[in-house]
Structure 1
Amino acid sequence: MSDITLSTGVRQNLLSLQKTADLMATTQHRLATGKKVNSALDNPTNFFTSASLQTRANELSALLDSMSNGVKTLEAADNGLTSITRNLESMQSTLRQARQDKSFKTMSYAVDLGATPAGTETMSFSGGAIGATAVDIELTGAQGIFTGAGFAALDFDSAADNSYAGSLGFDVAINGGGTRSIAITAVDADTLSVSVDGGAATTLDVADVEAVSATELQDLLNAGFAANDVDITASTSGGELVLTSDVIADTGLAAVAVTNVAETLAGASDSGLAGGAGSTSTPIAKSVDALVDEINMNSALDSKIRASNDNGRLRIENQSTQELDVAGLTPAGIVDGGAGTGTIGGNAVRTEFATQYNLLRDQLDKLADDSSFNGVNLLRGDNLKISFNETGTSTLNIQTKDGKAINSYNLGLTSLDSVDLDSDAAIDAIIADVGAALDAIRSQSSALGSNLSMVENRQDFTKAMKNTLETGADNLVLADTNEEGANMLALQTRQQLSSVALSLASEADQAVLRLF
């Protein structure tokens, strides 16, 4: 090209046209890429600053993916807790239905010990809610009776000096527990007094302290018993003094053991109490009402069986899901203290409720096991770590309380046997345990909800930061397409004008050709 000689005008126009072409190429590149800085050669400062901002934006974008997974993991755990809550409420409902059910099995027995029982006869209960150790109920009672030739022979006077020092003392063991000491003394010729356990004396006028009748002793004792809140009633039978207990409603069948009879009577009338023996115990059959009271008042049978009078028959209700064993029956099933036995079935409805409860308890564990997302299950105690910045200095560790898995064991809910639903008190205790488990689940759900709120807040913040970084990076390198378009139009016009100018310059060089 150095051998070609161009005129000054042509060369100047050619250079101008080349510069215009370069500028058009640059402008076309900017329009094609949308960037005014495409390499470090274009603008090193803007190029590297934009690259740094874009790199951080890309890192935040990766963190947003991690946060999104964390949110879904929390949502999966919340789904599990919601279902577990409904499951626990179903368990509570099952227990309440069991408590309301009273379809306990019953059996009514005729009671026949004969007209004169030979001695102490018993019936016993075992099994059911009572257990292996049998609880015995006496079928016969006893009356404490002062015996002798007749109370008219009693003489409380010392005879010799009218000091009225005679006395009669004895102890009574009251049916149902407790012993009271009774002392009868002469005050004067026609007054007797009675004291209980050495307390204040109660007096009664009699015809003659030297000839006391059984009726007078009856009235004296009843006055003393009433004044001292002693649950005994005195009566007479065939000229003899009979003491019976008031503890059981059927007082005629209650037992009072009369012991330690001591007498200091005047003269030869001591024989009036048959030489001081003073008492006998006569077995008699207890009525059905007496047996009902005794069974229902027995603390070892409380809330385990219940007795009632079924039209003269002893009705026993087995308040258990297990079979109750009854002993002391005839082969025909009559209560007589014999060697025969019988059974009363358990509550099958409560047994079924125990089965339902256990199925729901197992389902609770399955719900917790299935509440995972992407291999992380917070309800199994897994730890979820979420990073909020690219340097890892801002993180959140999410885990259940104390890192324990959410399951029936950690919630304190054990599998039930049907016997666990025997009593209302036991069911109430289990309902309370399920209520405590519900409170724990609600607390855990609240904690996870708080964590979810924090993650979503950081997620929104990170999205805003990513947008800010990308916008800042773009502002440094992106081209203004409107401006570049205007530049292109101007350059095109300039190129055309340069071409015309080049043509005119070339025409000047062509003028010499006209000479030929």
Structure 2
Amino acid sequence: MSDVVLSAGIRSNLLSIQNTAKLLDQTQNRLATGLKVNGAVDNPTSFFTAQGLNNRARDLNTLLDSMDRAVQTLEAADEGIKGVIKLIENAKATATQALTAKIIPSSVSSTTTGLVATQNASQITGIDAQDSFTIQVGTAAAVTINIANSTQALSAIIASIAAVANVTAYLTSDGKLKIEATNGEDLQITDVSGSTGNDLAIAGTFTNGVNRNSFESDFNALRTQMDQLVADASYQGVNLLQANNDLTVFFNESQTSSLTINSKLVDTSTNGLSISEITAKSWATDGNIRGAIDELDGAIANLRQLASTFGGNLSVVQTREDFTENLVNTLETGAANLTLADTNEEGANLLALQTRQSLGTTALSLASQADQNVLQLF
């Protein structure tokens, strides 16, 4: 180009066309990308400011994931608490039913009538010296009752029978010997030596009583389910209802703002619930059942207090999550304002530049005609 000599008019029009083409490329690039600042060359201040805003927005978006995880973990713990409370209420209903279910002793009465406490063994048909029989209540060990000698009074024999745990013995108004298993368990009387039991028609197994054993087993089964439900109330491996599962949630990218959600050990053997296992036959006493109900009421109170604490934590996390989402939107909007192109404006620019390019081409043609006039001189 430098070896070719152009007239001033042609050179001026050529430069104008070149500038217009450059602006057309820039405008078309902005329309294609939607950005007026595509790199640091376009506008260093706007580019790096927008980059900083977008970087912070990305960091906060990462924190939003951990906040959502904390929300789900808290909700899992809350569902666990609700489930345990329902099981406790079922256990309380079981205990209440046991309390209202009156125990009916298993019993047997002798067929012999007219017995008197002062009679001795030799005066009662079927009772002989050195006879012995066993009395067993439920699964307890059998206890042997011995007829010491022929002069042993019936009252002494009755006292020996009544000394067996959960057994009472007495003479009825018509003089029959009546033996009862007071806790409602099965009563079994078996002759060992002699035939005292058979002769008095008191030998055998008697299941005519009512006990609370089924309520005890049902209660213990519910207690086991409580612990199992608590163990399942986890989210991504974090269970706030078990020990050493504290969860820390960070709210800003520099980790200077955070909330630590403390886990609480909840099981039937600790102060989280403190629900004692019911030992066999302990509910034969109403006071023991009422004690179990008191423990259940205390467990519900503890769980409601824990649910309130977790609810407060959940409110904080959700508030910060909403705030962070809005802040991310603000940062991304600010970055967009610095870099996004106005497509309406760029469209108008493209139309104007295309018109200018056409005019420039026409002007260049006119300028070249002046040089072509020289040819007419030859």
| TM-score, length-scaled by structure 1 | 0.59
* Alignment correspondent of 1:392: 255
Name which of structure 1's ranges 383-392 and 92-101 shifts more when overlaid on structure 2.
92-101
2:268 corresponds to 1:408: yes
1:331 to 197, 217, 222: 197
Which runs of structure 2 are paired with 1:356-435 in the superposition (5 Å)? 356-381=218-243, 382-401=245-264, 404=265, 406-410=266-270, 411-435=273-297
- Return the offset for 1:462: 0.5
**In 2, distance between residues paired with 1:43 and 1:474?**
14
Counterpart in 1 of 2:85? 85
1:495 aligns with 2:357: yes
Q: Which structure 2 residues correspond to residues 406-485 of structure 1 after superposition, within 5 A?
A: 406-410=266-270, 411-485=273-347
Which amino acid letter does the alignment assign opposite residue 385 of structure 1? T
CA separation of 1:116/1:464 partners in 2, compared to 1, >3 Å: closer, same or farther?
closer
**Equivalent residue letter for 1:73:** T
**What secondary structure sits across from 2:219 in the alignment?**
helix
Q: Once superposed, what is the RMSD of the aligned Cα atoms? A: 3.8
AA in 1 matched with 2:257: S
Q: 1:182-214 deviations in whole A, cap 9, x for unaligned?
A: xxxxxxxxxxxxxxxxxxxxxxxxxxxxxxxxx
Aligned partner of 2:343: which letter?
T
Aligned pairs for 1:56-205 (under 5 A) are 56-110=56-110, 112-114=114-116, 117=119
Q: Give the residue type in structure 2 aligned to 1:430.
A: A
Structure with greater strand share of residues: 1
Q: 1:116 to 1:504 in 2, by over 3 A?
A: closer
Does the CA-based 8 Å contact 2:137-2:166 persist in structure 1? no
Partner secondary structure for residue 385 of structure 1: strand
Q: Is the 8 A contact 2:47 2:339 kept in 1?
A: yes
> What is the CA-CA distance between 1:386 and the residue it aligns to?
0.9
Q: Deviations over 1:252-305 (max 9, x none)?
A: xxxxxxxxxxxxxxxxxxxxxxxxxxxxxxxx999xxxx9xx9xxx9x999986
Q: Residue 378 of structure 1: SS of its match in structure 2?
A: coil
Please tell me the residue identity of whatever aligns with 1:8: A
Q: Residues 495 and 322 of structure 1: is their aligned pair in 2 closer, same or farther, counting only changes over 3 Å?
A: same
Change (3 A) 1:107 1:324: closer
The Cα of 1:313 is off from its aligned counterpart by 4.4
**Structure-2 residue corresponding to 1:318:** 181
CA gap of 1:71–1:461, structure 2 versus 1, over 3 A, is same
| Higher helix content, 1 or 2 | 2
In structure 2, relative to structure 1, the CA distance for the partners of 1:389 and 1:301 (3 Å cut) is farther
Identity of aligned residues (%): 43
Contact 1:413–1:433, Cα closer than 8 Å, also in 2? yes
Aligned partners of 1:3, 1:448: CA distance in 2, in Å? 84
Gaps of 5+ in 1: 120-124, 137-283
Whether the aligned pair in 1 keeps the contact of 2:186 and 2:205 (CA below 8 Å) is yes
**Contact kept in structure 1, 2:248 and 2:261, CA below 8 Å:** yes
- Check 1:75–1:506 CA distance in 2 against 1; reply closer, same or farther (3 A cut): same
Deviation at 1:414, TM superposition (A): 3.1
Structure 2 gaps, min length 5: 122-133, 146-152
Structure 2 distance, partners of 1:84, 1:332, is 53
1:513 is displaced (CA, Å) by: 2.2
- 1:415, CA displacement in angstroms? 2.7
Distance 2:35 2:169 in 1: 94
Alpha-carbon distance, 1:60 to partner = 0.6
Q: Where do 4+ consecutive residues of structure 1 move more than 4 Å?
A: 110-116, 125-129, 300-317, 321-327, 332-335, 340-349
In structure 1, distance between residues paired with 2:257 and 2:278: 47
1 CA distance for matches of 2:170 and 2:116?
A: 22
Q: How far apart in 2 are the matches of 1:474 and 1:447? A: 41
How far apart, CA to CA, are the structure 2 residues paired with 1:70 and 1:361?
Answer: 29
